[in-house]
């Protein structure tokens, strides 16, 4: 009986180690993809502006809040200049009807340059999920 227990606990150990090493690999993989996004200079600049402009009051990264999750916005629009300008104009003027009936309030005090920097950050967020 004692012997059986030892074998059992040994094999359990082996199993635990096995799963540990695979989760380390997953963590490494995740860090790698996140790093490629955060290395982009648009990321930090946009994130700082979004954080200080109160955008996170209505937007979360991955879950719907009052506004759509930024990950979904990023998945919907290709990250090109045309979309950056179109979305930046909406952030400044406000928008409604694309994601539901709740409108986004206008942000008239933002400069176009800052709004574009924020949209560039938002549109980068899809790359984390790749």
Where on the chain is the footprint of ligand HEC (CB under 6 A)? Answer: 50, 53-55, 57-59, 66-68, 73, 87, 90-91, 95-100, 102-105, 107, 118-119, 122
* DSSP assignment letter at 54: T
Residue 104 has phi, psi (to 5 degrees) of -90, 130
Contact of 83 with 123, CB cutoff 8 Å: yes
Compute the least distance from the CB of residue 36 to ligand HEC, in Å: 22
Tell how far CA 90 is from the center of its chain.
Answer: 20
Of the CA atoms within 13 Å of residue 87, those in its CB half-sphere come to 22
Which lies closer to ligand HEC via its Cβ, residue 22 or residue 57? 57
Compute the least distance from the CB of residue 100 to ligand HEC, in Å: 5
Compute the least distance from the CB of residue 125 to ligand HEC, in Å: 10
């Amino acid at each position: 009986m004692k012997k059986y227990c030892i074998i059992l606990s040994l094999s359990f150990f082996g199993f635990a180690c096995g799963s540990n090493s695979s989760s380390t690999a997953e963590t490494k993989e995740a860090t790698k993809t996140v790093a490629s996004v955060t290395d982009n200079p648009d990321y930090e600049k946009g994130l700082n502006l979004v954080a200080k402009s109160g955008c996170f009051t209505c937007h979360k990264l991955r879950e719907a809040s009052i506004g759509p999750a930024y990950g979904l916005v990023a998945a919907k629009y290709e990250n090109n200049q045309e979309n950056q300008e179109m979305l930046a104009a909406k952030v400044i003027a406000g928008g409604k009807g694309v994601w539901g009936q709740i409108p986004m309030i206008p942000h008239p005090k933002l400069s176009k340059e800052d709004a574009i920097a924020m949209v560039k950050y938002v549109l980068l967020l899809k790359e984390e999920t790749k």
